[in-house]
Amino acid sequence: MSGKRWDDDAINEVLRNVAQSGGKQWEVQGPDWLIRTNGTREDHEGGLAALNALLAAPVRVATASPLPGSPVVNSQAPTLAEAIQSYSEVEAKGLKPNTWSQRRRSLAGFAEAIGGHLRVDVITRPMAANWSDGLIRADKAKGYAANCVSHVAQLFEALCLKGVVPTNPVKGLVVLKKKEKAARRSEGHEWEPFEEAQLKRIFDPANLARTRMEHVRWSALIALYTGARVGEIAQIFLRDFVMDQGTKCVLIHADSDGQGVKTGEGGERKVPLHPDLLRLGLWERVEALRAAGAERLFPAMRIDSAAGKGASVSKGFSYYLAGLGIEARREHGIIGMHSLRKNVIQMLQGSSLPEERRRALVGHEPGDPPADTHQTSYMRAWTAAELAVYFPGLPWGQWLDFKGLGPLLALVETQPRPERKRRQTPPQGGSKRQQTTA
């Protein structure tokens, strides 16, 4: 068929030849492509689907004679584009905005490569593999390709549950092996803790004054003394500060609108407040905000960003680090607010605090496997007093300048900032891109 014009007569001739093959090996040569099958049922079906896409004639291919013993069925399955649209209207509502943003991009890339007009039940594993292999051929990192595959696999997982397709053709096409993950870590592809000299620069009052945002200043100090994740700190409500048998604590949980915790056991927890945080005025801040009628620890900060609850804190802290000239030690290393979590965990690791209490404090799951096989079923939650023994394990107060930090931590904003009104029409000559204040 090479060099011929792909009119209706040519298409019909190709399909007759394929149908007459009876599912045996067949080959079709196009102007700039070649389809060759190996005689197996799977390859025959994959070849038909590929031919469907290339000839853009889904009805004709669907009516081509099937393999011997296969029923003649006109597919009622949705097209890939329709399935993605339905997924966005139903399943996406339960996803975090940032997760859905990544999944939507992966699905769009998959549809562009495979063909949005194809019905989902004719998309085969070889076709999906050709897409995932293409990501790596395009010099995308294997980790990136694995993430894309994982996102697209969720679409087909939903279709499998609904009985639309029998199997998931995408799941597991690209997986990072343990050895590959270890190799990436050895190359420095991970979060780095700050060195003590860097910590002293970060929390030097003269430097910390450079950032005007009180939620960045306070969040960094809370992370330094609790090891909490940035999103967990950003979402704290005033009602989350409690007294437990005389010990002041903060609850990390999902008990209010807009809150969430990392999945798995241990995410929800009670964290005793370190005496240094109290000395810096955290409890006084809580009481002053309560008196002002506020609800959250950082009432002027948005927590509904598509990038996550802690996006404003992470971005502000990263700008602050850049201004100080603090960079990752290794080429592929990462530094930011999460580095403080690593500092806390590593410091407690070298203290007398038992491992299971350290895990409970920072929100890690029990060991895998747990040292005690009945740990998760029989052990009660740790009390605030039992967890408070971690205090001596974090000796940051030996060099923190409490007197200098005090004025920088004074309460400034007690109410949410009013949302900026967006212009309905840009002025003549265009408009600058608006930036929201977090």
pLDDT in tens, the chain (438 residues): 444 445 555 555 666 666 666 656 777 766 556 677 777 766 676 777 677 666 653 333 333 344 343 333 457 889 999 999 999 999 888 887 788 889 999 999 999 998 899 899 989 999 999 999 999 999 998 889 999 999 999 999 999 999 999 999 999 999 888 887 777 777 777 899 999 999 999 999 999 999 989 999 999 999 999 999 999 999 999 999 999 999 999 999 877 666 666 655 567 889 999 999 999 999 999 999 999 999 999 998 887 776 678 889 999 999 999 999 999 988 888 999 999 999 999 999 988 888 888 988 888 766 644 555 555 566 788 889 989 999 999 999 999 999 999 999 988 776 676 665 544 444 333 333 333 333
Same domain, residue pair 36 and 87: no
Residue 64 within a domain? no
- Number of H helices and E strands in the chain, helices first, is 20, 5
Boundaries of domain holding 103: 80-176
pLDDT value of position 367: 60
Domain check: are 100 and 44 in the same one?
no
Task: With H, G, I as helix, E, B as strand and everything else as coil, classify residue 131.
Answer: helix
Global pTM value: 0.67
The DSSP code sequence of 189-218 is -SB-PPPHHHHHHHT-HHHHTT---HHHHH
**In terms of domains, do 318 and 399 share one?**
yes
Does 387 map to a domain? yes
Amino acid occupying residue 346:
Q
- Tell me how many domains the chain contains: 3
Among 191, 194, 195, which residue's Cα sits nearest to residue 332? 191
Element at 34 (helix H, strand E)? strand 34-36
**Does 202 reside within a domain?**
yes
Report the pLDDT value the prediction gives residue 58, as an integer from 0 to 100. Answer: 39
Question: Do 48 and 123 share a domain, yes or no?
Answer: no
Last residue of a domain, one of 148, 176, 204: 176
